[in-house]
Amino acid sequence: MTVIAAATGQAALRCRSVAVVFGKSEVLHRIDFDLSEGEWLGIIGPNGAGKSTLLRAIAGLTHYEGTVALHGGRVPSATDVALVPQSPILPAGMTVTEYVMLGRTAHLGWLSRESRSDRSLVGLVLRRLDLASFAERLVSELSGGEAQRVVLARALAQQAPILLLDEPTSALDLGHQMAVLELVDQLRQQDGLSVIAAMHDLTTAGRFADRLVLVEQGTVVDCGTPAEVLRQDQLSEVFRTPLQVRVLDGEIVVLPSPRRI
């Protein structure tokens, strides 16, 4: 299997007292966490908790206070972190190949011509994500699941060791949700990518993530393994609805409490 982004063998990313202020309201308040090499970190929490803002701060898309640094102290750029946005814009008339090539932007030279190696990398990524037969299709005409795979392909073409996923499966049905997450997990294991994913579904978050960060109103409420974080009392309080946490075949399942009729 071909490796697309090579592992560096170090702790991947460090966030220290990251705060984001929009106008007068503080959207993120002193967030701390570490991401290790090859780890899948799930960010969970209710709507408006600041999950997307945290990812945007890491990608450098919003102004923040505090430190976001790679190993060695460097602030990450587009060659270090690749963002898969929640609702990506798919321009009319653009083919899948052209779209995936956009991922090479940060690697291009001064005249911004695509080199031979850029082109062969795009071919490689397309093959890797089973998109070879889609190469000439228009991105605006893809189904939800196909489009998600194409956006993931663009992120892979960035050759960044850290993948940021902003609720990557919110528009997909159950089967496509699993397919995309399995694919990300495979890439992580085979290519040594590290993943930070804002995730809606607590059960899938518990299944795929190595560690979970629970965020509420811009503050980290809890951080740890899924078994530590996915506690019935804690989740019911944060999500403001009675939830039950069960273990089914060794896997943690989070469900709403049964309705009383």
Listed residue (107, 111, 110) closest to 120, CA to CA = 107
The label of the residue with tokens 């090479």 reads: 104
What's the CA gap between 208 and 203, in Å, rounded? 9
CB of 233 to another protein, least distance (A): 37
CB of 199 to another protein, least distance (A): 19
Query: Of 134 and 239, which CB lies nearer to another protein in the complex structure?
Result: 134
Query: Of 94 and 223, which CB lies nearer to another protein in the complex structure?
Result: 94
Query: Of 134 and 208, which CB lies nearer to another protein in the complex structure?
Result: 134
Query: Of 98 and 237, which CB lies nearer to another protein in the complex structure?
Result: 98
Query: Of 46 and 123, which CB lies nearer to another protein in the complex structure?
Result: 123
CB of 230 to another protein, least distance (A): 30
Query: Of 78 and 179, which CB lies nearer to another protein in the complex structure?
Result: 78
H helices of 142-221, where? 144-157, 174-191, 202-208
In the complex, the residues that contact another protein under the rule CB under 8 A are 2-6, 59-61, 77-79, 82-83, 85, 88-95, 97-98, 101-103, 105-108, 111-114, 116-117, 119-124, 126-127, 132, 135-136, 154, 158-159
Listed residue (49, 55, 52) closest to 33, CA to CA = 55
Give me 51's structure tokens. 């999950």
Tell me the C-alpha to C-alpha distance, in Å, between residue 209 and each of 75, 160, 227, 230, 239.
Answer: 24, 19, 11, 12, 19
Query: Of 139 and 252, which CB lies nearer to another protein in the complex structure?
Result: 139
CB of 13 to another protein, least distance (A): 16
- Contact present, 125 and 163 (Cβ < 8 Å): no
| C-alpha torsion sign, points 126, 130, 133, 138 | negative
CB of 130 to another protein, least distance (A): 11
CB of 249 to another protein, least distance (A): 37
Listed residue (54, 45, 59, 52) closest to 19, CA to CA = 54
Backbone phi and psi for residue 189, each to the nearest 5 degrees, phi listed first: -70, -40
Give me 67's structure tokens. 């430190």
CB of 154 to another protein, least distance (A): 8
